[in-house]
C-alpha cells in the first residue's frame, strides 16, 4: 500500500448573500458585507487557516491540488479583498503553477470590470448560478437576476478571459414543462460552457420551500421525460455525464469537486466550513480526521480575531465510517473509483467492503469488476439505496 497521502484541496466559505433563496439549505446569510466587514472576514479566514496549519503541520509540505471559493455569494466580495485572501493563502501553502482556483458567482452581482479583476488575480474557473433563463421560473426560485443578466454574465465572463466556466442549471421548477426545461438546457449549451451542473430542484429540510412547497411542481412522469431528453441532449453535445449532476467535455471536469468524490483531502476555512485531513501515525497507519467550524459569521469573525478556537467539531473516522464516507462520494461518479484508489485514500483493504460490495453486485447496483468500484445504470438511478448498503452495521 502506498504511503502517499490523497490530493489536498482548500475550500473557502464566504457565507454572505443579498437574499436567501427559498430552496437553499447552505450556511448563508442575507447580510451583504461592507468593505470593512470584507476585510475583517479575510483576516478571520487567514487566522482560521493558521490554526489548521498548527493542527496539521505536515500540510505545509503538501502541494495544493485545488482552491474553491464558495458561498453564499462570493462575488459580493471586491477583487481587492479576494486578492488579500489569495496572497495570504499563497504565503502559507504550496500553490503550484496552474492551480485550479474557482469562484462561485451570481449574475446579479457581476460586471465586466469585476470579472476582469477576478481573472487577473489568478482565478481561472468561474461557477455561475444561472438556474434558469426563463423569467417566471427565476422569480419562482427567488433569484435576484433576470434572464438578461444571466446571459450578460456569461458573455462578460468570456470577454474577461475565463476559459473554464461552469453553469448551474435546475430543472423540475414550479410550472415548468419538459419543453421549457430543454429550452433552458439548449440556451446554456449555446454558450459552450466548459461544465454544466444540471440538477433537479429538491425541497431540502428546514428551507422555506420545504415548509411551504411551491405549487405546480412537475409530476414524476414529466421529471423523467425532462431527465431522459436532457441527458440525451448533453451527450449529443459532447458532454460526459461523469457525476450524478455534473457534465463536462473530456478533460474539463471540476478538479476540486472530483477530489471530494474520490475521497481526497481538503481544508475548510470560513464560517461553517468542513474539512477532511489524512495523516500518518507514528506506526505508519493512515489517520483520517474531520473538523467543522463555527457557523455564525459574526461570531466566527470575533473568535478568529481574538485567537479563540473556531472548531465546532473535530473527530477521527473509524474504519466503518471511512468505508461509508468513501463509498458515499465515490458512487456518485459514473466510473466510480479504482479499488487501488480506495485502499490508498482510506488506508483499508478490500476486505472491509467485500460483503456490501458483493450484495450490491447481486442486486445489479454495482458492476461486477474486480478492480473497479463502479455503479451500474440501475445503481445510479437508485443511488440512495446503493449507498445505504455501505452504512456501518
pLDDT in tens, 86-131: 999 999 999 999 999 999 999 989 999 999 999 999 999 999 999 9
Per-residue confidence (pLDDT) for residue 210, from 0 to 100: 93
What mean pLDDT is reported for the chain?
96
Cα–Cα distance between 172 and 227 in angstroms, integer? 9
Which part of the chain has CATH 3.20.20.70? 8-258
Cα–Cα distance between 261 and 334 in angstroms, integer? 11
The three cell numbers of residue 239 are: 458532454
Query: What CATH class does 320-393 carry?
Result: mainly alpha
CB-CB contact of 287 with 314 (8 Å)? no
Which part of the chain has CATH 1.10.10? 320-393
Query: What CATH class does 8-258 carry?
Result: alpha beta
Look at the alpha carbons of 293, 254, 257, 141 in this order and tell me if their dihedral is positive or negative.
positive
Q: Which helix (H) or strand (E) holds 105?
A: strand 100-105
The three cell numbers of residue 392 are: 456501518
Cα–Cα distance between 72 and 200 in angstroms, integer? 20
φ, ψ dihedrals at 105, nearest 5°: -150, 150
Task: Point out the residues of the chain with pLDDT beneath 50.
Answer: 1
Per-residue confidence (pLDDT) for residue 53, from 0 to 100: 98
Within 257-376, strands assigned E span 265-269, 274-280, 286-293, 311-316, 337-338, 372-373
Q: Which residues pair with 11 in a beta bridge?
A: 68, 268
The three cell numbers of residue 36 are: 470593512
| Cis amide leading into 125 (omega within 30) | no
At a CB cut-off of 8 Å and minimum separation 6, what does 8 contact? 59, 62, 63, 64, 65, 264, 265, 266, 267
Amino acid at each position: 500500500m502506498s504511503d502517499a497521502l490523497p490530493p489536498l484541496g482548500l475550500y473557502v466559505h464566504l457565507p454572505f448573500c443579498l437574499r436567501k433563496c427559498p430552496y437553499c439549505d447552505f450556511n448563508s446569510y442575507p447580510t451583504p458585507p461592507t468593505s470593512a466587514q470584507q476585510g475583517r472576514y479575510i483576516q478571520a479566514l487567514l487566522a482560521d487557516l493558521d490554526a489548521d496549519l498548527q493542527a496539521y503541520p505536515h500540510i505545509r509540505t503538501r502541494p495544493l491540488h485545488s482552491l474553491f471559493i464558495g458561498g453564499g455569494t462570493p462575488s459580493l466580495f471586491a477583487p481587492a479583498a479576494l486578492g488579500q485572501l489569495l496572497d495570504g493563502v499563497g504565503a502559507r501553502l504550496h500553490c503550484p503553477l496552474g492551480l485550479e482556483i474557482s469562484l462561485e458567482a451570481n449574475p446579479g452581482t457581476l460586471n465586466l470590470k469585476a470579472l476582469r479583476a477576478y481573472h487577473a488575480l489568478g482565478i481561472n474557473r468561474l461557477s455561475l448560478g444561472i438556474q434558469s433563463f426563463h423569467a417566471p421560473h427565476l422569480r419562482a426560485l427567488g433569484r435576484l437576476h433576470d434572464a438578461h443578466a444571466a446571459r450578460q454574465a456569461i458573455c462578460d465572463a468570456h470577454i474577461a478571459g475565463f476559459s473554464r466556466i461552469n453553469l448551474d442549471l435546475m430543472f423540475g421548477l414550479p410550472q415548468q414543462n419538459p419543453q421549457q426545461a430543454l429550452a433552458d438546457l439548449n440556451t446554456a449549451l449555446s454558450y459552450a460552457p466548459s461544465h454544466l451542473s444540471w440538477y433537479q430542484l429538491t425541497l431540502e429540510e428546514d428551507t422555506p420551500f420545504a415548509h411551504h412547497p411551491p405549487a405546480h411542481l412537475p409530476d414524476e412522469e414529466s421529471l423523467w421525460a425532462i431527465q431522459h431528453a436532457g441527458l440525451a441532449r448533453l451527450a449529443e453535445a459532447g458532454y460526459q455525464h461523469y457525476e450524478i449532476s455534473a457534465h463536462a467535455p473530456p478533460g474539463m471536469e471540476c478538479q476540486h469537486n472530483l477530489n471530494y468524490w474520490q475521497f481526497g483531502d481538503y481544508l475548510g476555512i470560513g464560517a461553517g466550513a468542513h474539512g477532511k485531513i489524512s495523516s500518518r501515525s507514528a506506526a505508519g497507519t493512515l489517520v483520517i480526521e474531520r473538523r467543522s467550524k463555527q457557523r455564525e459569521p459574526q461570531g466566527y469573525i470575533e473568535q478568529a480575531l481574538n485567537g479563540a478556537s473556531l472548531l465546532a467539531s473535530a473527530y477521527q473516522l473509524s474504519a466503518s465510517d471511512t468505508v461509508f464516507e468513501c463509498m458515499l462520494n465515490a458512487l456518485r461518479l459514473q466510473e466510480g473509483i479504482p479499488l487501488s484508489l480506495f485502499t490508498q485514500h482510506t488506508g483499508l483493504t478490500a476486505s472491509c467492503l467485500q460483503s456490501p460490495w458483493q450484495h450490491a453486485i447481486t442486486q445489479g447496483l454495482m458492476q461486477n469488476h474486480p478492480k473497479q468500484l463502479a455503479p451500474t445504470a440501475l445503481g445510479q438511478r437508485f443511488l440512495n439505496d446503493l449507498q445505504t448498503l455501505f452504512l456501518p452495521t
